[in-house]
Amino acid sequence: MRDFNFFLPYLNDKNERKNKKTYIATTLILVAAIVVGTFVYNSFYIFTLRSDIKDLKNTYEAADNQQQLAKAEGLIKTYNTLNDYNKELENIFSGVLDRKVVSSQVLFDVSNSIPKEISFKSMSLDGSVLSIQGISSSRVAVAELGHNLKNLSYFSEVHMGNINLVSKDSQEQYSFSIKCTLKGVNNHEAK
């Protein structure tokens, strides 16, 4: 016959409790070791970083390095200033290249529209306005010049400023001034 041990469940329960306590203690020791290890590692890392910072500060504050730093900062400032000037000059240069206010064709067409009785004293360009001053032997020739200039496609407006009678050596001559506004020229671009 077999013996029954009625205390066996109580004995196994004690072993289980002993095993639970061992697991808990092992887990707590492991967690404590991780926390302490992390603290020691971080403390050592912080100490190393502080040492490196001191070395870098000493290197930075050295007189030779300060001179080199000042020289480098001056060069950077000069470079930035020159770079800004270069950008502005490129804008101006491209504007000059794009600006074709009066081409040789315009001057050729203006000279072809001049009647024989007229001679120019001066012709000047100020922004988008072409100013012409001259003399003529007849008023009709001045009017013909104004008409011819209005027919050219280069001008948006042709204004006859004045026509004055001038007598020289018992000869009647007319002095005149004409202002022609060029098409497609912005006054800000022309200046």
pLDDT confidence of residue 191: 47
pLDDT confidence of residue 9: 64
Percent share of the chain, pLDDT over 90: 36
Mean pLDDT of 30-58: 95
What is the residue-averaged pLDDT of the chain?
A: 84
pLDDT confidence of residue 18: 77
Beta bridge partners of 164: 175
Q: What angle do CA 100, 162, 149 make, to 5 degrees?
A: 35
Half-sphere exposure of 167 (CA within 13 A, CB side): 1
Which pTM value belongs to this model? 0.46
136/84 Cα distance (integer angstroms): 52
Q: Is the pLDDT of residue 5 over 80?
A: no
Cβ neighbours of residue 92 closer than 8 Å, sequence gap 6 or more = none
Percent share of the chain, pLDDT over 70: 85
Residue pair 161/176 in contact by the 8 Å Cβ criterion: yes
Mean pLDDT of 131-143: 91
Q: Is the pLDDT of residue 12 over 70?
A: no
pLDDT confidence of residue 110: 86
Half-sphere exposure of 118 (CA within 13 A, CB side): 25
Q: Is the pLDDT of residue 154 over 80?
A: yes
Q: Is the pLDDT of residue 96 over 80?
A: no
